[in-house]
Amino acid sequence: MSSDASSSPLAADPRYDPFTMALHWLLAALIVGSFGVGLYMTGLPFSPLRLKIYSWHKWAGVTILALSALRLLWRLGHRPPALPPGMSALQLASYRISHTLMYLLFFAVPLSGWAYSSAMGMPVAWFGVLPLPDFVPVDHAFAEAVLQPLHRNCAFVLAGVTLLHVAAVLKHHWIDRDGLLKRMWPRPRKEPAR
């Protein structure tokens, strides 16, 4: 197989649709930002700033949950572009497992955070306007012993799988040169004719 990306079947430009691309990059930014905020806020002393940052973190989590549901529904009705030819069985299995795991974690991380807030007796109000129901009864011991570690561990697993995802994409882009990244990369703007 040629290393020239232009000779790849992906050079015909089978890309994800613009809506899928927008959801992908928006979710990526929210997940990375929320993970960073989560790491930062846990070390803060109790203060109005900490409460404000916790609220932002919760809002981001609910937004990630809503966008993940929308993305999954959209994905069920829209097939992705073809993968590059020549991928090994191990690569295909890794692709399927990592994507399935990411989709599960897109839901597990925010839902476990929401459950933790509910069990701690701290209601979640999306952007401070839309109150969300508590779906776990108040139980501080359960929240601290089970839900908080579950939320933290799921977030770290999602971070790890995301890093592997990025590494695999960069490997396909720079080493395999098979055009995989183009599937999710927006088209460059065309210069107007003069």
Residue 127 resides in a domain: yes
Q: How far apart are CA 58 and CA 146, in angstroms?
A: 18
pLDDT of residue 178: 85
Read off the pLDDT of each residue in 51-64 and give the average, rounded to a whole number: 94
Strand, helix or coil for residue 95: helix
Asked if the structure places residue 194 within a domain, the reply is no
Residue 114 sits in a domain whose CATH number is 1.20.950
pLDDT digits (tens, 9 = 90+) for 85-133: 888 899 899 999 999 999 999 999 999 999 999 999 998 989 888 999 9
7 has a pLDDT exceeding 90 = no
pTM, rounded to two decimals: 0.85
Inter-residue contact 142 to 120 (CB < 8 Å): no
Average pLDDT over residues 17-28: 94
Indicate whether 26 pLDDT > 80.
yes
Residue 134 within a domain: yes
Q: Note the Cα 58 to chain centre separation in Å.
A: 15
Does residue 191 fall inside a structural domain? no
Is residue 34 in some structural domain?
A: yes
Q: Is residue 2 part of a domain?
A: no
121 lies in some domain: yes
CB-CB contact of 147 with 115 (8 Å): yes
Residue 130's H or E segment, with its range, is strand 130-131
The boundaries of the domain holding residue 42 are 11-183
DSSP state of 182: G
Written as six digits, the tokens of 153 are 């561990």
Distances (CA, A) of 95 to 14, 32, 53, 74: 18, 21, 35, 19
Question: What is the C-alpha to C-alpha distance for residues 21 and 184, in angstroms, rounded to an integer?
Answer: 6
Q: Would 192 be classed as within a structural domain?
A: no
Q: How many domains does the chain have?
A: 1
Identify the residue with better confidence: 164 or 180. 164
Question: Tokens 């809002």 appear where?
Answer: 59
Tokens matching residue 24: 């992908």
CA-wise closest residue to 179 among 3, 17, 5: 5
